[in-house]
Amino acid sequence: MGRWEPGAAGRLRAAALQLFAEVGYDQATVAEISERAGVTSRTFFRYFADKQEVLFAGSENLQIEMVAALDAAPAGSSAREALDAALDRAAVVLAEGADFARRRHAVVSGNPALLERETMKMARLADALAAHLRDRGVTEPLATMTAHAGVAAFRVAFSAWVQDPAIDLRSAMAANLAVLTESDS
């Protein structure tokens, strides 16, 4: 195959996920991933800086989509309503790539270094959502608390969703947020 063969990035992602599942993340090499994808290692590095990037490249798109949805919420929406718009968009985006999301999660959850990077990604997402809530006029500490609660609800729902495809991701996020408003006292 030519080095600029169409779909090389997608083939590299698919090959990497297959190898990570078969031999483990740490044992899979860039050379093996490249060979399985039908490209050279040099081509691999044209698309990805390293093996981690196969899993994380493009992950900023989820943040971009969620922030855009939050920003597009009608004027006068509460912080929670704007957050709900962002979570609705996340559910749509993830449903479109459900197979990749589930396979990626299996790799990430089994590797401490990848989990650390995933945690940092989620912290950046919460910070971005909080900043955009503040831009909408939401004051502190409500902006930060809403954003972080939303990301926590997202993460817990996502973990359940990747394990059980029958779970509706958006409903699970809403249920998680509802727990925060319930009172045991």
Whether residue 82 sits in one domain with residue 14: no
Retrieve residue 40's tokens: 């050279």
Tally of residues, the chain = 185
What is the pLDDT, as a whole number, of residue 29?
97
Say whether both 32 and 89 belong to one domain: no
- Assign 73 to helix, strand or coil: coil
Range of the structural domain that residue 171 is part of: 58-181
The pair of structure tokens assigned to 102 is 């589930």
Any idea of the CA torsion for 135, 139, 141, 147, to the nearest 10 degrees?
-40
Whether 14 and 105 map to the same domain: the answer is no
Question: Which of 166, 133, 170 shows the shortest CA–CA distance to 148?
Answer: 133
Is 67 inside any structural domain? yes
Asked whether residue 2 is domain-assigned, the answer is no
The answer to whether the CB of 8 falls within 8 A of the CB of 43 is yes
Nearest residue to 72 (alpha-carbon basis) of 83, 61, 62, 58: 83
Per-residue pLDDT of the chain (185 residues; tens, 9 = 90+): 444 456 899 999 999 999 999 999 999 999 999 999 999 999 999 999 999 999 998 889 999 999 999 999 999 999 999 999 999 999 999 999 999 999 999 999 999 999 999 999 999 999 999 999 999 999 999 999 999 999 999 999 999 999 999 999 999 999 999 998 775 54
E strands, 57-161, are none
Residue 1 belongs to a domain: no
| Nearest-angstrom CA–CA distance, 132 and 127 | 9
Specify whether the CB–CB gap between 92 and 33 falls below 8 A: no
CA dihedral 46, 40, 37, 115 (to 10 degrees): -50
**pLDDT at 185 (0 to 100):** 47
132 and 149 fall within a common domain? yes
Question: Is the residue at 135 inside a domain?
Answer: yes
* DSSP code of residue 49: S
pLDDT in the model for residue 2: 43
> Which CATH number fits the domain that encloses residue 15?
1.10.10.60
Q: Write down the H helix ranges in the chain.
A: 8-23, 30-37, 41-47, 51-56, 60-72, 79-96, 98-109, 112-135, 142-163, 169-181
Count of structural domains, the chain: 2
Which pLDDT belongs to residue 184?
A: 55
